Amino acid sequence: MARLDSDFCGIRSPNPFWLASAPPTDKAYNVERAFEAGWGGVVWKTLAEAGPPVVNVSGPRYGALLAVDRSLIGFNNIELITDRELESNLAEIAAVKRRWPDRAVLVSVMVPCREESWKAILPRVEDTGCDGIELNFGCPHGMSERGMGSAVGQVPEYIQMVTGWCKRYTRLPVIVKLTPNVTDIRFPARAAKAGGADAVSLINTVNSIMGVDPDTLRMSPDVGGKGTHGGYCGPAVRPIALHMVAEIARDPETAGLPICGIGGIGSWRDALEFIALGAGSVQVCTAAMVFGFKIVQEMVSGLAAYLDAKGLASVEALRGRALASVTEWRYLDLNRISKAVIHQDLCIQCGRCHIACEDTAHQAITAQRDGRRYFEVKEEECVGCNLCVNVCPVPGCITLRELAPGEIDRRTGQAVSGTALDWTQHPNNPLRSGA
């Protein structure tokens, strides 16, 4: 069988599935249950410096975006970092690590942007015997208003400065957790590397407001009539996270920087995508909160079965395999022509493809044949946009067929060229070479 054991910037664990810094990792009881279920590691919920405890709201801390069947699309939270005393957390971290020496135990830390604050807390965290430090530069609510979290993560100069302090005051691997609430994720990642970070983890949550209650006309959820922006996570943010992971993995300036992928991971299939785009390990939160800790068992068995089926000996053998397929739009092949095909043996005659194409696309799907309801593609109008494939409720009923070189495109009347042409060489591009 394929090996799932992980060595992420020197942090070893029996599998690459870790629980993210969040409510599921707030105390020893939860972490012990997670390890019993099979998780390879955890990132302990973010610690603060000694002093007055953080106060969380009592009332709605979470909001959700649900599909019509009440399955979770997205999740929002306004919960702050741990509201438990530093000493209690440190004692529990040490005890858990002693009992589970083979599991990765990392600690998330957030303190004010002062060198003395980091100098004070890091040795105390290191004394627990934990395996690494994760710098919380991503939290978008509550703590950011106090000059921490994403208030640091949105300023590359701060990231580099604080990371440098942390590398000075701890011997442990330092992982910088990045916020997605930036224009270009590459700049924070470059700053983390310049500061000496051993790795980055991403994404933290996306700044968001979940909605407005139509009866009260207050934002939802609200706490005593008022609400605030929170952190958005869950399946809906996975495409954002995948994009940002790939951007860092293929950026020459961050080449070789280990990446821990986070954002909407709920299955081995989701984790596979992050690893194939360059992540060496992954973190999970929302899915565990919705379905419980035992979901890791399907993740472990599913990923192992996939690696075996592909003839890959380890997770490391999968890492980055998809990166070569990621490029800029201008390098896409403009001579490739595809047409939709409706497989009539699977069609249930619902008409969704016709309505979508007729109203919002290219009027390329007929609705009748010989006076009866019948849906088929008019190739002379189809541009291969894939809209019909996405709205069809039957898997595999509609697919795209790529025209072979020399085949006539009925839409243009031209033969398909077998030579790839990207936008940099397109006749309509005024900036093309030699123009």
**380 shares a domain with 316:** no
Q: Scanning the structure block, which residue is given the tokens 């939802």?
A: 220
Considering only residues 353 and 65, tell me which one the structure prediction assigns the higher pLDDT: 353
User: In sequence order, what DSSP letters do the residues of 367-402 get, joined into one string?
Assistant: EEETTEEEEEE-TTT-----HHHHH-SSTTSEEEEE
Percent pLDDT > 90 in the chain is: 79
Q: What is the pLDDT of residue 434?
A: 54
Q: What is the pLDDT of residue 140?
A: 66
pLDDT at 41 over 70: yes
What CATH code is carried by the domain that includes residue 107? 3.20.20.70
Q: In what helix (H) or strand (E) does residue 286 lie, and over which residues does it extend?
A: helix 286-291
123 three-class SS = helix
- Of 270, 231, 262, nearest in space to 245 by CA: 262
CB 283 within 8 A of CB 255: no
302 in any annotated domain:
yes
Domain containing residue 341 = 332-425
Q: What is the pLDDT of residue 275?
A: 98
pLDDT band at 325 (very low <50, low <70, confident <90, very high): very high
Q: How confident is the model over 167-181, as a mean pLDDT? A: 96
**313 shares a domain with 372:** no
**229 shares a domain with 86:** yes
**309 shares a domain with 351:** no
d(CA 186, CA 240): 14
pLDDT at 72 over 80: yes
Point out the domain boundary residue: 291, 325, 359: 325
Q: What is the pLDDT of residue 175?
A: 97
Supply 224's token pair.
């005593």
Q: What is the pLDDT of residue 61?
A: 85
List residues bridging with 365 in a β-sheet. Answer: 377
Angle ∠(417,419,421) on CA atoms, nearest 5 = 100
pLDDT band at 234 (very low <50, low <70, confident <90, very high): very high
- Of 288, 395, 268, nearest in space to 343 by CA: 395
Catalytic annotation, pick one of 130, 139, 166, 233? 139
d(CA 239, CA 340): 25
Q: How confident is the model over 177-186, as a mean pLDDT? A: 95
Q: What is the pLDDT of residue 49?
A: 82
pLDDT band at 148 (very low <50, low <70, confident <90, very high): low
d(CA 88, CA 86): 6
1 in any annotated domain:
no
432 in any annotated domain:
no
pLDDT digits (tens, 9 = 90+) for 45-64: 999 887 777 877 787 888 88
Averaged pLDDT of the chain: 93
Q: What is the pLDDT of residue 358?
A: 97
What CATH code is carried by the domain that includes residue 390? 3.30.70.20
183 in any annotated domain:
yes
**369 shares a domain with 276:** no
Q: Scanning the structure block, which residue is given the tokens 């207050």?
A: 218
Point out the domain boundary residue: 306, 325, 344: 325
**174 shares a domain with 136:** yes
Q: Which residues neighbour 256 within 8 Å (Cβ) at sequence distance 6 or greater?
A: none
Residue type, 310: K
| Number of helices and strands in the chain (H, E) | 13, 22
CB 178 within 8 A of CB 205: no
Q: Which residues neighbour 33 within 8 Å (Cβ) at sequence distance 6 or greater?
A: 293
Write down the pTM of the prediction.
0.93
200 in any annotated domain:
yes
Q: Which residues neighbour 230 within 8 Å (Cβ) at sequence distance 6 or greater?
A: 63, 76, 77, 78, 140, 141, 205, 207, 208, 209, 210
**91 shares a domain with 180:** yes
**149 shares a domain with 69:** yes
139 is catalytic: yes
Number of domains within the chain: 2
**164 shares a domain with 16:** yes
Q: What share of the chain is helix, strand, coil (3-state, %, to 5)?
A: 35, 20, 45
List residues bridging with 400 in a β-sheet. Answer: 340
pLDDT band at 141 (very low <50, low <70, confident <90, very high): low
CB 136 within 8 A of CB 162: no
Q: What is the pLDDT of residue 4?
A: 97
263 in any annotated domain:
yes
CB 397 within 8 A of CB 342: yes
**279 shares a domain with 248:** yes
Q: What is the pLDDT of residue 80?
A: 75
Point out the domain boundary residue: 292, 310, 325: 325
d(CA 205, CA 185): 14
Supply 7's token pair.
């060595």
User: In sequence order, what DSSP letters do the residues of 290-346 get, joined into one string?
Assistant: HH-TTHHHHHHHHHHHHHHHHT--BHHHHTTTTGGG---GGGS-TT--EEEEE-TTT
Where is average pLDDT lowest: 335-344, 384-393, 411-420? Answer: 411-420
**371 shares a domain with 240:** no
pLDDT digits (tens, 9 = 90+) for 266-276: 999 999 999 99
314 in any annotated domain:
yes
152 in any annotated domain:
yes
- Of 175, 169, 157, nearest in space to 106 by CA: 175
Considering only residues 219 and 346, tell me which one the structure prediction assigns the higher pLDDT: 346
Supply 253's token pair.
């300036």
**314 shares a domain with 169:** yes
Q: What is the pLDDT of residue 51?
A: 73
